[in-house]
Copies of this chain bind each other. A is one copy, B any other.
Amino acid sequence: MYSFANDYSEGACPEVLEALISTNYNQTDGYGLDEYCETASDLIKEKIGNKDIDVHFVTGGTPANVLAMCLLKPYEAVISVESGHINVHETGAVEATGHKIIEVKGKNGKITVQEIQDVVKNHIDEHMVKPRMVFISNATEFGTIYYKEELKEIYNTCKELGLYLYLDGARLANALVAQGNDLSLRDICDYTDIFYLGATKNGALMGEAMIIKNNKLKPNFRYLMKQHCSMLAKGRVIGIQFLALLKNDLYLENARNANIMAQALKYIFKQLGFKFYIESPTNQIFPIIDNNLLEKIKSRYTIIEWGKYDDNHTITRFVCSWATRKSDIQEFYEDLLAFIRQERIR
């Protein structure tokens, strides 16, 4: 069985493991107050080209999202598209901190300026929560990406309406190296108040880098991290991994591999006439597959069944990662051809 189920099926990319090994016996302070975290933080500031940001290393994506929401006052709420990770796949972690998520439809996993404006317009008094933050992710849950003009317009809208813009960057590297992307890491920082650059899904064992630009959101962030279970005693473990990922832009290299492999898969499916649920330029693709064929594929591959398309077809999700090799794609291609042949004969 080979798995295209997600981008966290393996351990870490070799450079990350090596960095952990080579630093293993050096003694450091705990809880992220070590030289590795500091250097990694400096490196991120440098890459972004902004020294006036705060960088914190947290254990995962849900922790990162929860921490961002904890910056709100009790009656303040966050606006998210229906499909937003915080709205669906975090077991109510945001609500567990007391905050309401105001959901809007979105389009292709992306929020629109109109939706943001409407929410603010409709929340008129103290009987309703006060919208205060917009949550977006890039790449989105559907693998789609935001373009510069979109992000800028959303950010400007947020500023006009007194909202913070938060970007969930679990797959930010995949977005940054996607075909057609016109956003740089610096842009991401310029056009958000706070965001995170994910590593868990990009070759690290775990860990994300939270980046806070808005000065109002900076104070005492480490208190929130500790309170909300997002800090490791051996905080260095995340700093060291980021050091490895940032060196020679390995984080972009890893993401590029993931994207290319996924797009190769997409090409294969398209060549064979498959349709897609959504067009995505990153490391997740969503082919629509005949149910009989799907059974065959599932006999050798682990993939995600995203939902029913019609009585005979299923929307599926294939994900590639830093670890996906050309040979994996080649093999799948051959298997797929064979499965199709068997189906035709049947």
Contact = CB atoms under 8 A, between A and B. Distances in A.
Contact of A10 (B27, B89, B99, B232): B27
Greatest chain B CB density within 10 A among A77, A93, A237 is at A93
Nearest to A66: B229
Nearest to A9: B27
A330 B261 CA distance: 55
A84 interface: no
B323 A234 contact: no
Interface in A74-94: 74-75, 77, 88-93
Contact of A5 (B29, B66, B97): B29
Contacts of A230: 229
A54 B30 CA distance: 30
Contacts of A200: 232-234
Contacts of A28: 9
Given A17-B20, A90-B226, A229-B228, A74 B103 contact: no
Majority secondary structure, A binding face: loop
A60 interface: yes
Contacts of A63: 229
A206 interface: yes
A126 B75 contact: no
Contacts of A25: 10-11, 323
A233 B91 contact: no
A278 interface: no
Contacts of A226: 62, 75, 90-91, 93, 126-127
A59 B17 contact: no
A126 B20 contact: no
Interface residues of A, number: 75
Contacts of A126: 91, 220, 222-223, 225-226
Contacts of A96: 74-75, 97-98, 227-228
A8 interface: yes
Given A74-B96, A96-B228, A226-B90, A61 B8 contact: no
Interface of A: 1-3, 5-6, 8-12, 14, 17, 20-21, 23-31, 59-63, 66, 70, 73-75, 77, 88-93, 95-101, 103, 126-130, 200-201, 205-206, 220, 222-234, 236-237, 302, 323
Given A95-B98, A206-B232, 13 more contacts: A2-B27, A8-B30, A9-B27, A21-B21, A61-B233, A74-B96, A77-B92, A90-B227, A92-B129, A96-B98, A127-B226, A201-B233, A206-B233
20 contacts: A5-B30, A6-B233, A60-B232, A74-B224, A75-B96, A75-B223, A77-B92, A91-B128, A92-B98, A92-B99, A96-B97, A126-B222, A126-B225, A130-B223, A200-B233, A201-B233, A205-B205, A206-B234, A228-B229, A229-B229
